[in-house]
Amino acid sequence: MNEQTLEFVCPHCGKEDALTYSYSLHAQKDPERYSKLLSGTLFDYVCPECGNRIHLTYGLLFHDPAHKAMCFYVPDEKEVPGIIDSIRAAHNTEGGDSLGNYAVRIVTEDHKLTEKALIWSLGLDDKAVEMWKLTYLYHIIAHNEDFEADDSVMRVENGAYKIDFYRENEYLGTVEADPSLIPNVKERFLSRDTGVIENDLFVDTAWAMDHLTNLLHRPESSEPEDAPNQ
């Protein structure tokens, strides 16, 4: 059984409660929970005593075989090294190469897990999406040098693609973005080897910035024509 019990106290009424949950989610085998993940409500719980909504925190392994993707949500960052070791061990054991064509990621915030699931559900490459979001961030910075974002999240609202920007978890603003640019961004920024070993387990804004820096500072490479202006 892949179930655990989380005990907690409602912050609104003080009622002690417990939730038995599965610490893995298979996108195709558990469509109800998958739908909740995509809508951002998977970790919400309604207190039966006072009726208030509570946002719970617990680790989860998300598995989407249809899109060859897997993401570990690890809210306790002290547990991240152990997860990394387990992933490396899976690669090194017999049959571990089956993970070779999978996108395997680690996130430490549940909204980032929701974003990963959304990206893959749309058939997109999360690395390309991070580079795409970065082009919008640099475009904003080019017109407002005081804009300092260290994180971004893609979402889809009524068919419109939007990017929310944050600085130290503080919301800064939203831009509507054109998803038709993603293939071009992928071709421009991900078609060449940067010549360094990148930590592909953490693909986020920081990863995109590092990737661009490594790409542009290769001695034999030149800046792509439509690279973001810094």
Q: Is the pLDDT at 226 greater than 70, yes or no?
A: no
Contact 117, 71 (CB under 8 A): yes
pLDDT band at residue 215, thresholds of 50, 70 and 90? Answer: confident
What pLDDT is stored for residue 230 in this prediction?
A: 36
pTM of the model: 0.88
Whether residue 224 is predicted with pLDDT greater than 50 in this model: the reply is: no
Half-sphere exposure of 145 (CA within 13 A, CB side): 2
pLDDT tens, position by position, 131-188? 999 999 999 999 998 999 999 999 999 999 999 999 999 999 999 999 999 999 999 9
Confidence of residue 216 (pLDDT cuts 50, 70, 90): confident
CB atoms within 10 A of CB 117: 22
- pLDDT score at 139: 94
Cβ count within 10 A of residue 114: 23
What is the per-residue burial (b if ≥16 Cβ within 10 Å, else e) of 188-215? Answer: bbbeeebeeeeeebbbbbebbbebbeeb
Q: Look at residue 125 in the predicted model and tell me its pLDDT.
A: 95
pLDDT over 70, % of the chain: 87
Mean pLDDT calculated for residue range 81-102: 76
Cα gap 8→14, rounded to integer Å: 9
Contact 129, 208 (CB under 8 A): no
Q: Mean pLDDT, the chain, as a whole number?
A: 88
Q: How does pLDDT run across 10-56, given as a tens digit for each residue?
A: 999 999 999 999 999 999 999 999 999 999 999 999 999 999 999 99
